[in-house]
Amino acid sequence: MPATPDPNIAPKSGDAALRERAARVIPGGLWGHMRVQGLPVGYPQFFTRAEGCRLWDADGREFIDFMCSWGPIVLGHHDAEVEAAADAQRRAGDTMNGPAPVLVELAETFTAMVAHADWVLFAKNGTDATTICVTTARAATGRRKVMVARGAYHGAAPWCTPNPAGVTAEDRTHLLRFRYNDIASLGQAAAEAGEDLAAVLVSPFRHDYGVDQELPQPAFARAVRALCDRVGAALILDEVRAGGRIDLAGSWEPLGVRPDLAAWSKAIANGHALAAVTGSARWRDAAASIFVTGSFWCGAVAMAASLATLRKLRAVDAIAHMQAMGQRLRDGLARQAAAHGFRIRQSGPPQMPMLLFDDDPGAALGSAFCALALQRGVYLHPKHNMFLSVAHRPQDIDQALDATDRAFAALRSACAEQPCDGV
């Protein structure tokens, strides 16, 4: 039991004090991917406010935000229309004995928007959605094996977490791995699965941690589709991270490849907790047969927020805007890196940019650059893909670029004092 705080001493609320307090009552200070230990020194753990494309930490520092809460914030923090819809639903009712009418309206909106979708289920987190997809595929096929790309992240449940602590080998017995964009390795994994293949689970593009992102080769996407058709397995597209930022009808629509099942979450409700599974007709009975639920899965506020989010994404041509802003950022960073004599690589769709330095094992140089950018008011990530939102306007990108130019200059000075790799 933690020591009782002295009521005469006001609790300290700056970032360092909060971390110290958290370390006493929360294992490791925080769980999961938002733990600041993975970030360069100087990154805050706690935030007190967010608005548009800006956020403020517990020490009152303001940042232009290029992580967007790791994806959910697609329209900008605290979007007025989304929050008005959420507030109205909150006044009417949220977690009740069953869903509110907004469930049906949202389901109709999803099935109209997503090209492959004949039906939809809602849950809360991306892991819920990917797990439901896998369960549905197994229920439909009566098979066990699921193929996933090596290094891909599909959630934090025992069957897919990248961290082996507390997980048994049996939890992952039926996972088989292939290399993203590699048709030969896809074939090898399929041969291993034989007649027991329930599904191929794949992300719209390769967005693994710490490595260059890879867009899907059309031939690879078609090969995944052909394999699933040939053996009667489900093609599951994990849209949790990319969904809503590539193509609202589905991220593989531009390639002409439709999944059977897709998992959505992050961006679909602009920061409200919601996930969705969309599916085509063949998988409907299986989806009806499985038991998946959660105490908060019918919460109406997140659904109202989602409806408003999806409407606004369409109305403001959000994807084109995020692409343009991401490209403006990318072009500026490329110019600056060259001018300051650094070799960088920028990969993935510009609206979900990844920035890595050449010859930078462990991302030491990238981390130093991000720390310098943070000190100048720009929140970047040295190893994970970042995110643009509708709230990023040209003047925000230009302000961020002004700061990154100064960060590159400071990095150059630091490298002059102590030689850096990647230069």
Which residues are at the interface with ligand PLP (CB under 6 A)? 125-127, 130, 153-156, 203, 238, 240-241, 265
Q: Which residue's Cβ lies closest to ligand PLP? A: 126
SS3 assignment, position 301: helix
Say how many CA atoms lie within 13 Å of 389 toward its Cβ: 29
Q: For residues 205 and 342, which CB has a smaller minimum distance to ligand PLP in the complex?
A: 205
Beta carbon of residue 23, minimum distance to ligand PLP (angstroms, whole number):
23
Beta carbon of residue 19, minimum distance to ligand PLP (angstroms, whole number):
22
Orientation angle between helical segments 300-315 and 318-339, nearest 10 degrees: 70
Q: For residues 154 and 245, which CB has a smaller minimum distance to ligand PLP in the complex?
A: 154
Count of residues in the chain: 423
Beta carbon of residue 333, minimum distance to ligand PLP (angstroms, whole number):
23
Beta carbon of residue 33, minimum distance to ligand PLP (angstroms, whole number):
7
The answer to whether 206 touches 149, Cβ cutoff 8 Å, is yes
Q: For residues 133 and 411, which CB has a smaller minimum distance to ligand PLP in the complex?
A: 133
Instruction: Give backbone dihedrals phi and psi of 68, rounded to 5 degrees, phi first.
Output: 50, 45
Q: For residues 262 and 368, which CB has a smaller minimum distance to ligand PLP in the complex?
A: 262
Beta carbon of residue 216, minimum distance to ligand PLP (angstroms, whole number):
14
Cα distance between residue 421 and residue 423, in whole Å: 6
Q: For residues 141 and 203, which CB has a smaller minimum distance to ligand PLP in the complex?
A: 203
**The two structure tokens encoding residue 375:** 């000190």
Cα distance between residue 323 and residue 290, in whole Å: 38
Residue with tokens 């990108």: 397
In this structure, what DSSP letter does residue 268 have? G
Cα distance between residue 52 and residue 265, in whole Å: 20
Q: For residues 113 and 157, which CB has a smaller minimum distance to ligand PLP in the complex?
A: 157
Q: For residues 136 and 404, which CB has a smaller minimum distance to ligand PLP in the complex?
A: 136
Which residue stretches of 146-267 are H helix? 183-193, 218-231
Cα distance between residue 122 and residue 107, in whole Å: 9
Sign of the C-alpha dihedral, residues 281, 283, 285, 288? negative
Beta carbon of residue 220, minimum distance to ligand PLP (angstroms, whole number):
17
Beta carbon of residue 414, minimum distance to ligand PLP (angstroms, whole number):
32
Cα distance between residue 76 and residue 170, in whole Å: 41
Q: For residues 58 and 275, which CB has a smaller minimum distance to ligand PLP in the complex?
A: 275
Compute CA distances 380 → 70, 251, 271, 400, 415, whole Å: 11, 24, 19, 10, 20
Beta carbon of residue 266, minimum distance to ligand PLP (angstroms, whole number):
7
Q: For residues 131 and 280, which CB has a smaller minimum distance to ligand PLP in the complex?
A: 131
Beta carbon of residue 174, minimum distance to ligand PLP (angstroms, whole number):
18
Cα distance between residue 351 and residue 326, in whole Å: 5
